[in-house]
């Protein structure tokens, strides 16, 4: 008889909207959050460079099933461009490759921004995770080589100047779709302006549907987490629900990342059928008849994601109660 794999953590589910500090990698952040929550499963919805700060949505448990929906959501970045230099990495990390004495005026920059809004083509940075012929661009770049990276279609919803700093840098805010490289925006703007440029500071402030109101810092999480060094008197040190109450209060519901999908409320009996993978007829005057994707919820908790065809909900992915 096959031995059942022992769970390595708690079956905790939901979203932690981490305000990632500069210097921490995305994978490192996920590992830290997983450890703090003693979670059995964790993942993030969109890499954030170590030199960048801000929003890194981290999914725990059942919420990992909803990661693709958050990854596809619009993102907002606030970033600072330093003019007069181009760097290998298009940010502070790499050595300078080109310089210019020219500095753009705000009017010159503003005149170019319409070229960077809507659906545009963009070439990702050489120092990126793009894979060409089986090789990661950043691996080749670190060895001193370059790859011919084809331009990709991206979408920029808005691109605004926030301010010009006292030392001549320009602060921007951009709302963009999946796959956009802010470092490439700085590089290309610098080239078009004839002065070169790179990202000197980068912060992600939103990943739809999450906003800055959902932020939680590493310090808040560490303060709320139970101490593991010594067991409480008369109680083993292992995971115990009441010890994690303060920490779990910082988690958003599993369904929080699915705001873009139609929501259908179902009864407990219907929820039980859906969780078994059974299709159900949606009842009620306001029940939708058709939808490529929708969420079924019971008592405000996510039950399933599925398609609605002729008034029948057909589950594609179900969630534990």
284: left (phi over 0), alpha (psi -120 to 50) or beta: left
Whether residues 197 and 303 fall in one domain: no
The pLDDT of residue 230 is: 47
Q: Of 178, 207, 236, which residue is a domain's last? A: 207
The pLDDT of residue 102 is: 96
Answer whether residue 139 shows pLDDT above 70: no
Q: Of 175, 207, 239, which residue is a domain's last? A: 207
**Under 8 Å CB-to-CB from 127, ≥6 apart: which residues?**
88, 89, 90, 93, 94, 137, 138, 141, 142
In this structure, what token pair is assigned to residue 228?
């593991």
Q: What gap in Å lies between CA 91 and CA 201, rounded to an integer?
A: 8
Q: Dump pLDDT digits (tens) for 45-69.
A: 988 988 999 999 999 999 999 999 9
**Under 8 Å CB-to-CB from 1, ≥6 apart: which residues?**
none
Whether residues 197 and 112 fall in one domain: yes
Whether residues 189 and 286 fall in one domain: no
Whether residues 273 and 201 fall in one domain: no
Select which of 19, 49, 90, 214 is catalytic. 49
Whether residues 190 and 279 fall in one domain: no
The verdict on residue 9 lying in a domain is no
CA neighbor of 222 nearest in space, from 55, 33, 24: 33
The verdict on residue 232 lying in a domain is no
User: Which domain CATH number covers 129?
Assistant: 3.30.2350.10
Whether residues 202 and 128 fall in one domain: yes
Whether residues 96 and 168 fall in one domain: yes
The pLDDT of residue 135 is: 63
The pLDDT of residue 231 is: 46
Q: Is 30:58 a contact under the CB 8 Å cutoff?
A: yes
| 49 given a catalytic annotation | yes
Q: Is 106:161 a contact under the CB 8 Å cutoff?
A: yes
The verdict on residue 126 lying in a domain is yes
The verdict on residue 184 lying in a domain is yes
pLDDT band at 284 (very low <50, low <70, confident <90, very high): confident
The verdict on residue 237 lying in a domain is no
The verdict on residue 228 lying in a domain is no
The pLDDT of residue 180 is: 94
**Under 8 Å CB-to-CB from 152, ≥6 apart: which residues?**
121, 122, 123, 124, 179
Whether residues 86 and 168 fall in one domain: yes
Whether residues 202 and 273 fall in one domain: no
Q: How many domains does the chain have?
A: 2
The verdict on residue 276 lying in a domain is yes
Answer whether residue 129 shows pLDDT above 80: no
Q: Point out which residues pair with 120 in neighbouring strands.
A: 154
What percentage of the chain reaches a pLDDT higher than 70? 87
pLDDT band at 321 (very low <50, low <70, confident <90, very high): confident
Q: Dump pLDDT digits (tens) for 153-193.
A: 999 999 999 999 999 999 999 999 999 999 999 999 999 99
DSSP 165-228: -TTS-EEEEEEE-TT--HHHHHHHHHHHHTS-EEEEEEEEEEETTB-GGG-B-HHHHHHHSPP-
Range of the domain at 269: 261-318
Q: Point out which residues pair with 298 in neighbouring strands.
A: 301
């Amino acid at each position: 008889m096959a031995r059942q794999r022992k769970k390595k953590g708690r079956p905790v589910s939901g979203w932690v909207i981490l305000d990632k500090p500069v210097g921490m990698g995305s994978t490192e952040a996920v590992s830290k959050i997983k450890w703090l929550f003693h979670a059995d499963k964790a993942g993030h919805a969109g890499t954030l460079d170590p030199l960048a700060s801000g929003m890194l949505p981290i999914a725990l448990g059942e919420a990992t099933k909803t990661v693709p929906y958050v990854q596809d959501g619009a993102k907002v970045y606030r970033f600072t461009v330093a003019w007069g230099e181009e760097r290998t990495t298009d940010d502070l990390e790499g050595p300078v490759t080109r310089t210019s004495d020219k500095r753009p005026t705000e009017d010159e920059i503003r005149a170019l921004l319409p070229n960077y809004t809507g659906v545009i083509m963009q070439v990702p940075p050489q120092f990126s995770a793009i894979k060409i012929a089986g090789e990661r661009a950043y691996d080749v770049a670190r060895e001193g080589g370059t790859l011919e990276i084809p331009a990709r279609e991206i979408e920029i919803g808005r691109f605004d100047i926030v301010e010009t700093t006292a030392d001549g840098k320009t602060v921007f805010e951009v709302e963009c779709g999946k796959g956009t490289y802010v470092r490439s925006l700085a590089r290309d703007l610098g080239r078009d302006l004839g002065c070169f440029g790179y990202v000197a500071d980068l912060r992600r402030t939103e990943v739809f549907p999450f906003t800055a109101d959902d932020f939680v810092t590493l310090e808040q999480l560490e303060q709320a987490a139970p101490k593991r060094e010594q067991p409480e008197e008369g109680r083993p040190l292992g995971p115990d629900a009441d010890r994690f109450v303060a920490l779990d209060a910082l988690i958003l519901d599993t369904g929080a990342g699915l705001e873009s999908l139609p929501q259908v409320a179902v009864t407990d009996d219907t929820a039980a059928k859906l969780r078994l993978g059974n299709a159900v007829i949606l009842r009620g005057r306001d029940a939708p008849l058709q939808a490529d994707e929708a969420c079924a919820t019971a008592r405000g908790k996510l039950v399933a994601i599925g398609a609605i065809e002729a008034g029948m909900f057909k589950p594609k992915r179900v969630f534990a109660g």
